[in-house]
């Protein structure tokens, strides 16, 4: 990050409500199952049973994590008959995942 911080970023950092919301987003990303759910949704919409298969956890655990992710505005949902379909809320979520993975790969010495 540059020494000359962008003025917009400076204003966002001065807003306690925005900073708090950002910390809640990063907290949500810090859980392996939630990160797996978000990563799976990078490939497109999925239902609970598909996410269960990917994450290898119970339906109730997936539902609990999805509720938290929805509360943090990281995923959105829509009904398709009896089924609820989940997707990433917006492109920012994918960017956060990508940046986190790129940073982690640098830490591990695996530059991509």
What tokens does 17 get?
Answer: 């409500």
**How are beta strands 46-47 and 75-80 bridged, if at all?**
unpaired
Does 112 map to a domain?
A: no
CATH number at residue 73: 1.10.10.10
Give the E-state strand segments of 15-82 in sequence order: 46-47, 75-80
Q: Give pTM, 2 decimals.
A: 0.86
Range of the domain at 86: 7-107
Digit-coded pLDDT (tens) for 64-106:
999 999 999 999 999 999 999 999 999 999 999 999 999 999 9
Does 2 map to a domain?
A: no
Is the pLDDT at 28 greater than 50, yes or no? yes
Q: How many domains does the chain have?
A: 1
Distance CA 99, CA 79 (A): 31
Does 12 map to a domain?
A: yes
């Amino acid at each position: 990050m540059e020494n000359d911080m962008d003025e917009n970023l400076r204003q966002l950092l001065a807003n306690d409500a925005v900073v708090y919301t950002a910390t809640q987003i990063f907290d949500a990303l810090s859980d392996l199952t939630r990160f797996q759910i978000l990563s799976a949704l990078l490939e497109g919409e999925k239902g609970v049973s598909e996410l269960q298969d990917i994450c290898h956890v119970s339906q109730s655990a997936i539902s609990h994590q999805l509720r938290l992710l929805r509360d943090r505005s990281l995923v959105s949902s829509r009904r398709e008959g009896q089924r609820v379909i989940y997707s990433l809320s917006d492109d920012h979520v994918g960017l956060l995942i990508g940046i986190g993975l790129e940073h982690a790969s640098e830490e591990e010495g695996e530059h991509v």
